[in-house]
Structure 1
């Protein structure tokens, strides 16, 4: 195993972090020490991806058993299976895991004590909440990348493990709620009687909340959703749910990066009152509200639980951070005042196969992003994604990252002025495009012989036809490409007029003028194709806005 020496300056112009080729690096996949955690940071599919990058991979025996991945599958993918976690910590240059390092059960040892100097660790870390853990990792002179610190920018979506996990958790929350509820979620009319649809109330419309809305709606429930950020209203309504508005004069609950923020006591009290009113008429309440680096806000008071119907269900996805409900008990389902409150924190482990595949894919993508095309491990301090995720670098604490620089937009292009440069002079007219010139020449070549030798009616029809072609060309040419699809659907009306004209022309030309009849039939055929295509495109466009 090659030892990596970091001789390059930290945070320099190149932002180098060692220059060893990827073939000298060994990636280690650990089995999670938390007995409730069934996910794994590497799957056989992600192992194959890492091997294609030129890396070597070792996997602790039994690491993927909870998610359904046997040791033989890892060996077949090309990884080397080792018997203990100590082997992984002792050999691997890059250690990947799901949860932050923690104390090993039935042992006085902590996973941090196994980290070697210069070793790289990739996992969820929550550095704002685990400052003591971060300090211990700094003392070990490790390099740590937090998967929960991926910046909320478009380029980083493929690395956003937090959103991927929230999506699975939101879906699973509805499954858990349906199990605890004990009734149908969708309304039905049967011979045995009428079943009303369940009333579901979602608190927090982030990734998990939107996933819960989709799952509940697909099961037939009537869904309402609340969020302090008014910007999510369109997303909620596009999924078929009802948005619950909330306004508080002089204050909003929207923080940086699209997350919620801490609010004043008066704001929180008004928010709790509104939520209690909607909980009273709901059968299922799913809470997803979190504030980065803070305890989860208490949004459902004990009084709100008392006011709910007996047999109602609360699923608290924020239980790991203290819970959104005052009566939530971590890792338990309890009954309070006739209401079942689910505070389990292992919902992702109950879908370990899917969650592991998504998480392992983001980890492999991160490693590929760092290696780059040169296949060299090189942390770029100027890269917003890598710098945002970097918590500790060779024992140097780099958290929190600097605020991102807002780059000014490109200046609007100036119109060229006329020769002479006088203010107020009109710009030169752009030259006609070549297709338009060719069209004009073709029109002249057709109209001149028809005018000399053709009949009067044919000349009139050809003139209208060619003028329509020229006008249509210029209209479509000047429409932005983003509007071409709506434009195609709108032209159905024009095509309908062409259909009527073509049918009239075919009827009138059937006696004495066969050419007009043929042209009319061709017009009917082409217009019919355009109408049918326009309706198909319109239908496809409308489906994009449906759930």
Structure 2
């Protein structure tokens, strides 16, 4: 067992509990893990309660439970579930490290606010997920896995019949036909969960490599008769389609969607507006009682035309659930995974008892350092 180093770096986490957020960026297990790396942990009172961790749990693990202002004043680095507001950035002392999903691909004003406040940002969305050394830091993968799992359960709960085939004395009930649009991390988890619930699952993704992944889980791959052979971008993400490609995809999906009872959409392009995969015409073509779960719904829009955060029912009786917060609904597991991601990022930058930006170049693009020009956004 590795010896515990004397703590010389202070890591703080604040309470981010809200109507839609139950996760926390630090768990007791990670407190103990970070102590071995020479990091002491500070956490705001009550921050872990929604994820089923009490203040006493943190104290027993060796963390200091403090009011928010004391956490901010004492921490060398702060970890976040959602990025801190610009108002909070202004309250942090210069030189503080801010670790989280910072939206750095598209929000230049936010990056400028970090710079103005003299902070060091670690934008987790820019971590190179294809590197084995960075995989334990990949928040998008861990949280999307939880989201995909929960999306299938939410869809099953909203659907007015069984997912599996049921043979009863009153007759046989056919299994639900489920279509997953987007076969990335969330989509694959949704496929696996829907299959385990007994549904007949079909999936589609623009990336050529996804066909084998879909079929390996026992699902069918939806053939739209289109060729987007260059559909995969860097880092394993789907690239944004051209307007012509997107229009062709939408028309084909709209036509095919009518044969399904449940549709789950999970397609996101990091830092950009989600692609519309199912148009209003496609929604209107679904049978009454059909359910759509749009995991990409946000203020920027979603994968389903007209979807918003929350639940709505169309005039044709189709239920649309805009659900970007599904990972938070599995708060304990999601927090455990997220805390490991954030903790491993922090530990990577602890060098000789201090936080250091002098590291190998493979993770350097994730750093937003005050006074240093930001790296150009990576191709999604």
Band the TM-score falls in, shorter-chain normalisation: over 0.9
Counterpart mapping for 1:88-127 below 5 A: 88-102=71-85, 110-127=87-104
Larger deviation, residues 237-246 vs 252-261: 252-261
Give how far 1:360 is off: 0.3
Greater strand content: 2
**Which residue in 2 is equivalent to 1:486?**
none
**Which residue in 1 is equivalent to 2:250?**
272
User: Could you tell me how far apart the structure 2 residues matched to 1:168 and 1:144 are?
Assistant: 26
**Given the alignment, which residue of 363, 372, 376 partners 1:400?**
376
User: Could you tell me how far apart the structure 1 residues matched to 2:206 and 2:82 are?
Assistant: 29
Q: 1:187 to 1:250 in 2, by over 3 A?
A: closer
Give how far 1:99 is off: 0.4
Counterpart mapping for 1:407-446 below 5 A: none
Question: Does the CA-based 8 Å contact 1:140-1:395 persist in structure 2?
Answer: no
Question: Does the CA-based 8 Å contact 2:224-2:253 persist in structure 1?
Answer: no
Counterpart mapping for 1:318-333 below 5 A: 318-320=296-298, 321-330=300-309, 332-333=310-311
Give how far 1:273 is off: 1.5
Deviation sequence 1:221-243 (CA, Å, 0-9, x none):
00000111111111110000001
**Which residue in 1 is equivalent to 2:347?**
368
**Given the alignment, which residue of 289, 292, 309 partners 2:267?**
289
User: Could you tell me how far apart the structure 2 residues matched to 1:342 and 1:401 are?
Assistant: 31
Is 1:234–2:234 an aligned residue pair?
no
User: Could you tell me how far apart the structure 1 residues matched to 2:355 and 2:243 are?
Assistant: 48
**Given the alignment, which residue of 86, 110, 126 partners 1:133?**
110
User: Could you tell me how far apart the structure 1 residues matched to 2:263 and 2:280 are?
Assistant: 14
Question: Does the CA-based 8 Å contact 2:9-2:353 persist in structure 1?
Answer: no
Deviation sequence 1:25-46 (CA, Å, 0-9, x none):
2111111164421110000111
Q: 1:402 to 1:307 in 2, by over 3 A?
A: closer
The SS at the match of 2:29 is helix
**Given the alignment, which residue of 73, 86, 90 partners 2:69?**
86
Which has the greater radius of gyration? 1
Instruction: Please give the TM-score of this superposition, normalised by the length of structure 1.
Output: 0.65
The SS at the match of 2:344 is helix
Is 1:56–2:40 an aligned residue pair?
yes
Counterpart mapping for 1:149-298 below 5 A: 149-155=126-132, 156-246=134-224, 248=226, 252-298=230-276
Instruction: Please give the TM-score of this superposition, normalised by the length of structure 2.
Output: 0.93
User: Could you tell me how far apart the structure 1 residues matched to 2:39 and 2:99 are?
Assistant: 15
Question: Does the CA-based 8 Å contact 1:142-1:395 persist in structure 2?
Answer: no
The SS at the match of 1:348 is helix
User: Could you tell me how far apart the structure 1 residues matched to 2:330 and 2:228 are?
Assistant: 42
Is 1:44–2:11 an aligned residue pair?
no
Aligned residues: 372
Question: Does the CA-based 8 Å contact 1:117-1:394 persist in structure 2?
Answer: no
Which structure 1 segments of 5+ residues have no match? Answer: 1-20, 104-109, 404-547
Larger deviation, residues 197-206 vs 336-345: 336-345
**Which residue in 2 is equivalent to 1:417?**
none
RCO (CA 8 Å, sep 6+): is it higher in 1 or 2? 2
User: Could you tell me how far apart the structure 1 residues matched to 2:378 and 2:152 are?
Assistant: 38
RMSD after superposition: 1.9
The SS at the match of 2:78 is strand
User: Could you tell me how far apart the structure 2 residues matched to 1:205 and 1:275 are?
Assistant: 14
**Given the alignment, which residue of 12, 16, 21 partners 1:32?**
16
Q: 1:71 to 1:231 in 2, by over 3 A?
A: same
Give how far 1:112 is off: 1.5
